[in-house]
Amino acid sequence: MAATTHYRTCPFCEATCGLEVKVDGDKVLSVKGDKEDVFSHGFICPKGTGLKSLQEDPDRLTQPMLKQPDGTHAPVSWDEAFAAIDEKLMPLLDAHGRDACAVYLGNPSAHSLATLLAGRVWIKALGSKNIYSASTVDQMPKQVSAALMFGTMLSVPIPDVDRTDHMLILGANPLASNGSLMTAPDMRGRLRAIRERGGKVVVIDPRRSRTAESADEHHFIRPGTDAHLLFGMVHTLFDEGLVSVSPRLAKYVAGLEQIEPLARPFTPEAVEAVCGVPADDVRRMARELAAAERGVVYGRIGTCTQEFGTLASWLVDVLNVLTGNLDEPGGAMFTLAAAGQANTRGKPGSGRGMAAGRWKSRVRGLPEVFGELPVACLAEEMDTPGEGQVRALITVAGNPALSTPNSERLERALGDLDFMLSVDIYVNETTRHADVILPAPPPLQKSQYDLAFYQLAVRNVAKYSPVVIDNGIPSEYSTLLRLTGVLTGQGPNADVGAIDDFVTQTAVQAELANPHSPLFGADADALIAQLGRRSGAERLLDLQLRAGPYDLTMDDLEAAPHGIDLGPLQPRLPDVLRTPSGKVELAPEPIVADVERLRAALAQRANGGMVLIGRRQLRSNNSWMHNLPNLVGGTNRCTLHVAPGDAERIGLVDGGTAQVRSRAGEIVADVEVTDAVMEGVVSLPHGWGHGRSGAQMGVAAANAGVNSNVLTDELAVDPLSGNAVLSGIPVEVAPAENDDVPAGQPAVAAETA
Ligand SMILES: Nc1nc2c(c(=O)[nH]1)N[C@H]1C(S)=C(S)[C@@H](COP(=O)(O)OP(=O)(O)OC[C@H]3O[C@@H](n4cnc5c(=O)[nH]c(N)nc54)[C@H](O)[C@@H]3O)O[C@H]1N2
Ligand SMILES: Nc1nc2c(c(=O)[nH]1)N[C@H]1C(S)=C(S)[C@@H](COP(=O)(O)OP(=O)(O)OC[C@H]3O[C@@H](n4cnc5c(=O)[nH]c(N)nc54)[C@H](O)[C@@H]3O)O[C@H]1N2
Ligand code: SF4
Ligand SMILES: [Mo]
């Protein structure tokens, strides 16, 4: 066979880089950046080549796995696997009701067209209130603040990095993560360009991260206190007469008058005592932001996975409004995606607003948000007996055994389930508990369109990548539709094509009946005929494109393998809004009510105790890329970063080990002494802790590390979003007592990951 060249989007992170992939049959010859990609222009990070190693990974599943009586997993046919699901799951649902089966959707499911589009179908067919996802260990606070302020959960204002002169970054390290809630390939180049055009980049982080290192200015902050700092800046703007909301913006904003009184107690001096940023710097940062012609504040996971996550997420956009930077070029803008965006659907300019609190979790009574419950509640829903107890679990592309708080409790509960099904690519820490594991195709064996991340991009772009290598693993779309067949009582061998036709017809009917759709009133049969030869996820995407704000179809995307550039972000107010008032709600009632908690915390001074934070590593991807030999090792190791002063005080040495204990658990970690982390804070990356019995990931087991989520506390959540607090966990740190614990390798030159 001859080598062929294919262009496709990398699915591993939010940056959506274009890759050039050369294959010969099913052998991958090379993976490079696609120089002609309209968005990434050839940029690629070290993980991009993981596409090849993942394709070749002998541990990756290619067949369904069935748990045997002795607890091991053995390969079976698809028919046998679905027969087992039908036989075990359906009687359980009949006996205990639909809520007895919980769902957990992991991060890669947000990167997959197939799982996103099928998700609406099979989860509805299951009909459970116990829906969980990685969102509540991630960005849920931002979704809550965005929905309350602008009306939908993905109406997140995106930094217009390519036109800004001043960028204040809190709790994000895009030089390692490659950007999040800000889809932008090559953040290093984009941040450098800000400085080259005379602008300024300021980073707020308890660690001197890669991004902090390359910025103009970096301030350490005590973990979990960003909302205090941001309120101190808001206070300064009012105090010094620096609020400048343009007349255009003022027309669309409600609640402005409530902000000044809310900010009053948060004087720069008062917040300094809590967050550790000097009052003069707080004032200066506020003045510089206000003075910038085009400035933007951007907060990411460090501002979300904390005690005041929703407040901090809200204050980021309050500052963007008060400095006149919302919806302005170079400020924080709303992306206009080609497909699937809720804020382009329905009547422009107003809507139903945020949905939350329609039901509560059984044990702790935490409210549902956007149809899901906090994953911090999942273990207790499984291990607390009584009416409504969760007895079964379906995971799709998730590894909650490593990624969610108090994971030891969760793992115990997983072991006690009556039934568990996973759709995944590995037998790992989570799926080893599953009765049935259905394999998902690896990236080169599936098509891609980033339905979610093109809604959060710094430019308007659209790109579709077809399957490169077809090795016969069914797409997750058809696997999950086959599961729908089981869940709707059609048995294990339902006609997936018929379910797919039904799904498409239902979607077409809904579109034609929507008076605000460009397809309103069209003829259903004619439209279905136009959707033509495609089926499955592609056909649904074609429909969404036709119903979207650009004149695009799947044919257009297929004809543009390097993507379609739809231009820089444009002002979208007021049409983007879906709040009931038709305004930007600057002071939403639930958030205002939570400010009192933040004010009370002004009295809390640091008590001298240590707190734990995480960090992301350039060559990792949460928990699941540690089996790729070209990525693990070297600086990509699981080490506890400790500041030199703390190490000396506690008696820790570089290359030694430390015992770290929290309310939830205890671990022993290899120590790396580095002044990149502030005093009083230790940092451990998440996603490690491999090598568990029953898992089948040889390379990961040899580079096991320890699981930071043994230490995080499932009882600590941000009340408005239910998001887990993963940053600022109180811990006790001591030299490891026991010398048989494997000691750390000699520290490599301290990587500021
Ligand atoms: N302490 C701490 N914990 C954290 C974080 C933190 O910063 N600190 N970060 C949190 C964040 S932001 C996130 S998003 C979560 C992630 O939490 P999860 O999504 O639960 O975890 P991942 O490690 O992303 O695991 C992804 C799973 O999907 C599988 N997989 C990979 N590709 C595919 C595919 O194409 N199809 C299918 N079906 N499966 C696939 C992998 O084998 C793995 O089992 O972790 C969170 N946990
Ligand atoms: N290489 C790589 N890329 C990834 C991932 C990965 O695992 N590896 N994961 C992907 C996922 S799922 C996500 S969600 C994104 C996340 O993308 P980012 O939000 O950019 O995530 P991080 O790189 O963890 O950066 C968070 C920063 O917040 C800091 N921080 C911790 N606590 C606080 C705090 O209280 N206040 C402030 N101001 N800062 C704090 C940490 O020190 C860290 O530097 O990355 C994605 N990209
Ligand atoms: S930055 Fe993200 S999308 Fe780009 S190559 Fe790296 S992992 Fe893939
Ligand atoms: Mo994430």
User: 475, 435, 500: which is closest to 92 by C-alpha?
Assistant: 435
Judge if the beta carbon of residue 112 lies within 6 A of ligand 1. yes
| pLDDT-flagged residues of the chain (< 50) | 739-753
Q: Return the pLDDT at 166.
A: 98
CA 2 to chain CA mean position, Å: 39
Beta strand 158-159 with 332-333 is antiparallel
With a Cβ cut-off of 6 Å, ligand 2 is lined by: 13, 107, 138, 170-174, 176-178, 180, 204-207, 209, 221, 223-224, 226, 300-303, 306, 613, 615-618, 620-622, 727-728
Type of residue at 60: R
The 3-state secondary structure of 50-104, one letter per residue? HHHHHHHCCCCCCCCEEECCCCCEEECCHHHHHHHHHHHHHHHHHHHCHHHEEEE
Q: Crossing angle of helices 226-239/256-263, nearest 10°? A: 110
CA 7 to chain CA mean position, Å: 25
Task: Name the residue at shortest CA distance from atom 4 of ligand 3.
Answer: 17
DSSP label at residue 742: P
Distance 305 CA to ligand 2 centre (A): 10
Distance 699 CA to ligand 4 centre (A): 23
CA dihedral 24, 33, 441, 11 (to 10 degrees): -170
Judge if the beta carbon of residue 119 lies within 6 A of ligand 1. no
Q: Is the pTM of this model over 0.75?
A: yes
Distance 392 CA to ligand 3 centre (A): 35
Q: Crossing angle of helices 496-512/536-546, nearest 10°? A: 10
Ligand 2 atom nearest to CA at 209: 44
What burial letters (b/e) apply to 258-294, b meaning 16+ CB within 10 Å? ebeebbeebbbebbbbbbbbebebbbbbbeebbebeb
The 3-state secondary structure of 7-35, one letter per residue? EEECCCCCCCCEEEEEEECCEEEEEEECC
339-360 residue pLDDT tens: 999 999 999 999 999 989 999 9
Judge if the beta carbon of residue 308 lies within 6 A of ligand 3. no
Q: Return the pLDDT at 743.
A: 41
The Cα–Cα gap between 191 and 200 comes to 9
The Cα–Cα gap between 139 and 718 comes to 11
Q: Which residues pair with 658 in a beta bridge?
A: 669, 735
Ligand 1: residue of 429, 473, 611, 623 to mutate (most ligand atoms within 8 A of CB) is 623
Distance 169 CA to ligand 3 centre (A): 20
User: 347, 418, 269: which is closest to 578 by C-alpha?
Assistant: 347
Judge if the beta carbon of residue 108 lies within 6 A of ligand 1. yes
CB atoms within 10 A of CB 574: 17
Judge if the beta carbon of residue 473 lies within 6 A of ligand 1. no
CA dihedral 377, 382, 386, 387 (to 10 degrees): 80
Cβ-contact 303, 713 below 8 angstroms: no
Judge if the beta carbon of residue 51 lies within 6 A of ligand 3. no
DSSP 212-250: HHTSSEEE---TT-HHHHHHHHHHHHHHTT-----HHHH
* 3-state SS class at 489: coil
Domains and CATH numbers, the chain: 4-56 (3.30.200.210), 65-137+354-567 (3.40.50.740), 158-326+586-599 (3.40.228.10), 606-748 (2.40.40.20)
Q: Return the pLDDT at 741.
A: 43
Element at 460 (helix H, strand E): strand 459-462
Q: Return the pLDDT at 288.
A: 98
The Cα–Cα gap between 411 and 404 comes to 10
Q: Return the pLDDT at 602.
A: 93
The Cα–Cα gap between 286 and 290 comes to 6
Q: Return the pLDDT at 170.
A: 98
User: 310, 14, 298: which is closest to 140 by C-alpha?
Assistant: 310
Distance 56 CA to ligand 4 centre (A): 25
66-98 residue pLDDT tens: 999 999 999 999 999 999 999 999 999 999 999
Judge if the beta carbon of residue 17 lies within 6 A of ligand 3. yes
First-to-last alpha carbon distance for the chain, in angstroms, is 42
The Cα–Cα gap between 330 and 586 comes to 20
Distance 509 CA to ligand 3 centre (A): 37
Q: Return the pLDDT at 738.
A: 63
Q: Which ligand is nearest to the CA of 300?
A: 2
Give the tokens for residue 441: 């195709």
Q: Which residues pair with 381 in a beta bridge?
A: none
Distance 515 CA to ligand 3 centre (A): 39
Q: Which ligand is nearest to the CA of 183?
A: 3
> Can you say whether the dihedral through the CA atoms of 697, 102, 370, 136 is positive or negative?
negative
DSSP label at residue 697: -
